[in-house]
Structure 1
């Protein structure tokens, strides 16, 4: 596999390659006495999750769930069942969105009792000595469902004018008006759900061709230019908006009956050009990479907590994107 382009706005940032002590990497189990099921308490909402399901989640998500690491092995004195509760500071709706997408993707690829799925059909692709893309031993995209995971953490700072009702007191603490203004600014930003608008604005301002290449690559691989975040919400205790987008990777494998497939197609075939693009995303398999940039926008918020009129407020946003590829 070729080395990542240092000018790429994602790969130019040091990827997350290490994990916290006690964190079990996906697919690696060194202790036989492992919990088979965990109950995750996500801000008051309990999710019973099988260990195998948890370990299939993106590493960037696991690090968000367990920033201090997670011990999956049972203590020597453990006598109960696999019903321990782990308290996790993570949005429950985002976690549910991820689990639902994972379940749907697995069912479509590996099949159900009533449908064989794509995996079964792809085993009939004949290997070619001159085409490594057709060899299931060399190309993991033939035997695994690939999912592009894109996260955004948007930290925002509202700029107030001197003498405004929204201000801080002598101790530097925000008054009620300022807290309300920050909440309103966050809600206004959260309502802007299109994924690529902010990055495209930065491309247009800076004429950054590497960032344009990133957008083009993602849109060739499964996203559409007008796609919206699948999940987007303000964090309850911080001026932060968390967003998540998941999309199946376009591998270039054409199945009979799929849109655009030849009418006489009887077995899956591979579009080598699209497969080549898809394989570039393997650079981010188990190697989440990040990009950070600042963005200034204006949003409309109420003039005060008692006013029905709006005013424009300048907001500075620090956006951090995390890109990762998952194979399930």
Structure 2
């Protein structure tokens, strides 16, 4: 069955596919298995930069980020008798991931956690302010007990009332320079780029890196193809936490590759209005909450969208051309994370 939803769980038969990432199968370890002990923290070597991350914090990160960190899965335990405590420092996981991006994600999640739950020495935060939403609404008629019970049950089953939602949007961009026919930039008989072509590739990478607005490329594709579903995706994201002129939170070129990785994180707008004065209670904008609940489709189910984009970038002064023609393959991954 075809769907107008631009991001779906199954790959539709379309030239513009948006497909769900297959969940990574991690090996499960249970506390009752006495021969194994869970690691309390992990020591990561992220492209030469060391991180010590608590296990619970690491596993609270978005599924799409974990798949990039550990594409072959992650063992969270050591054999019985393997030691613990300080001995865990001997186990270092080497990770091929941008350390600055990893630091950006950890910092955002730390700040979001403290804002919602309060600091460890003074818990509360927004979580405590909205606890009244789980209680019966005193504004409803007292005699209408069925409606009261239905509302309370709906509130208890709505995770957005009890957890902080974070929208995770990633872009993997691969770019291919199209050299001028008969020009100095070319490849040799073995397919390797000469110095002139390498210069064009580096300049193309710099030009693309400077284009940091999130929705410009997708909006250009919407205008070109008149794709209503993609326009709906932009509108939904901008109603849920993004702004139309937002820039990527982190964006950088991958080393030794014609590839740029970007990520943006925003707090999900749920429509919950928190009290500001004594005696007030939290209330909910139901229209905004309904929009936020649509993104629960991507909770623990990161989804992908791929499209090609033709771009012209200003060439360096030494080049024969004024512009560089580039084909870019963009892959977006959208996910909702609850902490």
TM-score normalised according to structure 1 size: 0.89
> Aligned-pair distance for 1:15?
1.1
1:89 and 2:86 matched? no
Offset from partner CA, 1:220-272 (integer Å, 9 cap, x none): 00000000000000101211100000000000100124xxxxx8981110111
Partner of 1:118: 126
Q: Quick one: structure 1 residues 178 and 74, their matched pair in 2 at CA, closer, same or farther if it must change by over 3 Å?
A: same
1:318 and 2:297 matched? no
Residues of 2 paired with 1:224 and 1:196: CA distance? Answer: 9
Does structure 2 retain, via aligned residues, the 8 Å contact 1:152–1:244? yes
Partner of 1:260: none
Does structure 2 retain, via aligned residues, the 8 Å contact 1:133–1:139? no
Offset from partner CA, 1:121-144 (integer Å, 9 cap, x none): 111223352664885421111111
Partner of 2:195: 176
Give the alignment of 1:279-294 within 5 angstroms: 279-294=293-308
Does structure 2 retain, via aligned residues, the 8 Å contact 1:145–1:327? yes
34-43 or 73-82: which moved more?
Answer: 73-82
Question: Highest Rg: 1 or 2?
Answer: 2
Partner of 1:190: 209
Partner of 1:79: 83
Give the alignment of 1:213-232 within 5 angstroms: 213-232=232-251
Does structure 2 retain, via aligned residues, the 8 Å contact 1:15–1:290? yes
Give the alignment of 1:144-293 within 5 angstroms: 144-257=163-276, 266-293=280-307
Residues of 1 paired with 2:234 and 2:136: CA distance? Answer: 33
Larger fraction in helix: 2
Q: What count of residue pairs does the alignment treat as equivalent?
A: 314
> Aligned-pair distance for 1:310?
7.3
Does structure 1 retain, via aligned residues, the 8 Å contact 2:213–2:245? yes
Residues of 2 paired with 1:127 and 1:65: CA distance? Answer: 43
TM-score normalised according to structure 2 size: 0.86
> Aligned-pair distance for 1:43?
0.6
Residues of 1 paired with 2:198 and 2:97: CA distance? Answer: 23
In structure 2, list runs of 5 or more residues that go unmatched: 13-17, 138-147
Does structure 2 retain, via aligned residues, the 8 Å contact 1:127–1:134? no
1:19 and 2:24 matched? yes
Root-mean-square deviation (CA), in Å? 2.4
> Aligned-pair distance for 1:312?
0.4
In structure 1, list runs of 5 or more residues that go unmatched: 258-262
